[in-house]
Chain A
Amino acid sequence: MKPVLEISGVSKSFTMHLQGGVSLPVMADVTFDVRAGECVAIVGPSGAGKSSVLKMIYGSYGCDSGRIVVTHGGEITDLVQAPPRQILALRRETIGYVSQFLRAVPRVPALDVVAEPLVALGAAREEARDRAAAMLTRLNVPQRLFGLPPATFSGGEQQRVNIARGLLPDYALLLLDEPTASLDAKNRAVVVDLINARKRGGAAIIAIVHDEDVRDAIADRIVDAAHFSAAA
């Protein structure tokens, strides 16, 4: 079966026009793929470009060259070429992203932050909220926080809201940027269970994880960002 994600020959640099047009190469010739039911861990030093790769897959960053091909439900899309509407459709239906830092819409309560992607997929709001509440409870987020916007939450609480939001829908491709970085051991274990459940459900997963125990518990393969980092 064709991999869910195939990245080939992707390179990326930032041109900083406000700094005299200096060009900052970030990565060159990134090539790897991820199959259904498989978790690939990206490792490498800070600044190597790990988060940038995930943002390029999610479409938040552009690419200078190469292909990022997502295959899902018989549809094959090159994200490097795809128009915005197509990227938005993939985000709604196919790709989940747990970013390193939660950027929630201000003033939206945590419960709705988590329920929103399900609603976008067509679930009734009440049902989506029930499922969101169950997920947050599983991640030990106290119920008194459900009705509050996450902006004032602790780092670990925000991270769990973020994880709940990304892992609740059945996305075929999951991008996880340090999902356990601010969690205690108990919650780390919950997240590892959730990720492994999604793997068994057939999701293709890319995770940036520094914690070796977590990595050993979820990853099937390792991709070292130092190999494609232009800074190396």
Chain B
Amino acid sequence: MTDDAPLLSVRGVTKWYGRRLGCRDVGFDLYPGEVIAIVGESGSGKSTLLRLLTRQADIDAGTVSYRMRDGSLRDLSALTDAERAVLRRTDWGFVHQDASFGLRMSVSAGGNIGERLMSAGARHYGDIRAEAARWLARVEIDQARIDDTPDTFSGGMRQRLQIACSLVTGPRLIFMDEPTGGLDVSVQARILDLLRGLVVDLGLSALIVTHDLGVARLLSHRIMVMKAGEVIESGLTDRVLDDPREPYTQLLVSSILPA
């Protein structure tokens, strides 16, 4: 986290859906190795923001700039579709709450990982299979399941497979939307441990959307609190959680059950 140039630089991002506000005037810098959690209750605009940042939807105002591997900071709007596709296939990883957004459910686990590798340019079948097996082990999925399809997997295994798929290309930035939502607490815990270890070991930057402040405390360096489409409070994770300023943040924090 010593790198001085931001990896992702966001300014004044605003989005309207007709007359309904998606998000307004969101701005922040994400630095290499840094994890930011975006918290807030459902409907506060967290997932919208993630879709805007990754350009799955167009923004009405503002800019999103990304530091390319050559060191140049590029406005995502100025990239060609092909350039953006390359970012999505290699430099960015995605972990969705619903695994069927991130995985092809009727393609084998090894095939899911392999497809991502091939879309990033890998061609040699033996290498791809070996790499897939290595990543399954890394996310603690039994390698004997390499030819099974994710629709035969448990919820926790599907999330592990998504994590493997997104990391296999050596991305620099991971976007996660409720990565442990809907899982049993014990399964959640193991996935969070896995993510925490991987993020630190690989020096990844991450944006993680969650309504679970415990997840934010565990994984993030900084928190942005969203309410009704706007970031109403942000700062160091423990500062926001231990000394919250805004009424809404105090309400969120007071609603956590003591561990």
Contact = CB atoms under 8 A, between A and B. Distances in A.
B239 A89 contact: no
25 contacts: A16-B250, A17-B246, A17-B247, A17-B250, A18-B247, A18-B251, A18-B254, A59-B236, A59-B238, A59-B239, A60-B242, A60-B243, A61-B239, A62-B243, A62-B245, A84-B221, A84-B222, A84-B235, A88-B1, A89-B1, A105-B196, A105-B218, A106-B218, A106-B259, A107-B193
A85 interface: yes
A79 to B, nearest CB: 11
Interface of B: 1-2, 31, 34, 189, 193, 196, 218, 221-222, 235-236, 238-239, 242-243, 245-247, 250-251, 254, 259
Nearest to A107: B193
Interface of A: 14-18, 55, 59-62, 84-85, 87-89, 105-107
A81 B254 CA distance: 27
A83 to B, nearest CB: 9
Contact of A107 (B31, B34, B189, B251): B189
A105 B193 CA distance: 9
Nearest to A14: B243
A85 B32 CA distance: 11
Contacts of B254: 18
User: Which of A84, A87, A106 has the most chain B CB within a 10 Å cutoff?
Assistant: A84
Nearest 10 CB-CB pairings of A with B:
A17-B247, A84-B236, A61-B243, A60-B238, A17-B250, A60-B242, A84-B222, A62-B243, A18-B250, A107-B193
Contacts of B31: 85
Given A61-B243, A84-B239, 17 more contacts: A14-B243, A15-B245, A17-B246, A55-B242, A60-B236, A60-B238, A61-B239, A62-B235, A62-B245, A84-B221, A84-B222, A84-B236, A87-B236, A89-B1, A105-B196, A106-B259, A107-B193
A85 B34 contact: yes
B250 A60 contact: no
B37 to A, nearest CB: 12
A20 to B, nearest CB: 11
Contacts of A15: 245
Contacts of A106: 189, 218, 259
A89 B33 CA distance: 12
A14 B2 CA distance: 33
Given A60-B243, A62-B245, A106-B189, A88 B236 contact: yes
Contacts of A18: 247, 250-251, 254
A85 B1 contact: yes
Contacts of B242: 55, 60-61
A147 to B, nearest CB: 15
